[in-house]
Structure 1
Amino acid sequence: MWTRKVHEGDTNIFLASNGWLNRLRNRSDFKSKIMYGEKGSADEPAAQAFVKAFSQTLLTDFKHLSYGKVLEIVMNFDEFGWIIKTLPKRSYLHSDTPVKAKKPTKARVTVLIGCSAAGLKFKPLVIGKSIRPLCFRSMNMADLPVYYYHQDSAWMSSELFTDYFNEEIVPTIKKNFPQQRVIVTMDNATCHPPTLNDIDDLIDVQFLHQIQHH
């Protein structure tokens, strides 16, 4: 049921069930249409090969560890783009109404998050365009609960990722897992340089389908 109260003291409350909404859509000939978007495809064979090889790595290289310990030493990092000024991707329009779709706005920030399979969370990274956004003008940037970087495109780069790797990932791993080999997984985007594997011998960076035995 949908409930909407216009004012706190208003006694007229609008209630509508999913059936009411569906009948309204059918009666008015409304259709849900995509306003914009991107089409992508997943490489299923590569994904299956990665799972098989990664499982074999855990069974052979970490067979001396308990299941719970393995969950602690497997970590994953990934970025996502946060479009901060855009219209919804879908909207309800009459079926005869042409869709004059426009490209989505490019106002965005990039956020990188990471954690272990057991729940150890790393301090996130945020990339914006401004050196100091107005919302932070009275703050000490070092006190933010995230690492804030900036560049014109607000995209991740290999330089920024490497800096974050050295500033956050390596120290956090060393603090929680001294003298323990760990696996850090991430996709093979160009902003994730293969040279990350040269930074620390005990941090094994795996780029999804690239499983290597040490």
Structure 2
Amino acid sequence: MEQALRAALGGKKHIIWDWNGTILDDVDYAVDTINWLLGCHQLPLLTHETYREVFDFPIRAYYDRLGFDYTVTSFEDLCHIYVERYMAGFHGCQPYPYIRRLLSEVRSVCEHQSVLSATDQQSLDDMISHFGFEALFDHVFGLDNKMAASKIDRGLELIETSHVSRADTLMIGDTLHDAEVADAMGIDIVLVDHGHHSGTKLLNAGRPVIHFGG
């Protein structure tokens, strides 16, 4: 297990993982998908680097920044179109090469391991099943919609469901929203630098950031 992660675990009993960008290596695919949607609306496309700086939650604020005109296509419809396009091709993505090993090792030393995601529940379940990760997690919590506003409420539900104290729980994520969620849940968090927010963006926010090697 990576030394930085081992130190972060620090005897924690429940590890809560984000999915997209933390476990699943889908940043390039997300850039391709949003660029397809931007192109459909004759809007400027994003580079990989720009995407990791402008992507944010709630998704509505991110879409506002990208310039979508909701009088042409409603925000809700844009979200559904994006998710449909994403789910049609996510099979081309893979979990980070070292993640399956890390998940197995964390599973062996912690009592509980879960996923908390802003992805809608059905899509999240489909992805976890596709990659054969079901046995690695005690709980898989997604949202009941495709608008990806916030996962704070679901995080609080997860804390109650797990019956593990906040002091014994750690979250691992890749965005500043993950840090906001952890703060609202009253738990510690470690951020990884390989996901949807750049390491620089995470570090500038004063959050602990670790790098997972292969």
Q: Please indicate the TM-score interval, normalised by the length of the shorter structure.
A: 0.3 to 0.5
More strand by share: 1
Higher relative contact order (CA 8 A, sep 6+): 2
TM-score, with length taken from structure 2: 0.33
Return the index of the structure with the highest Cα Rg: 1
Higher helix share: 2
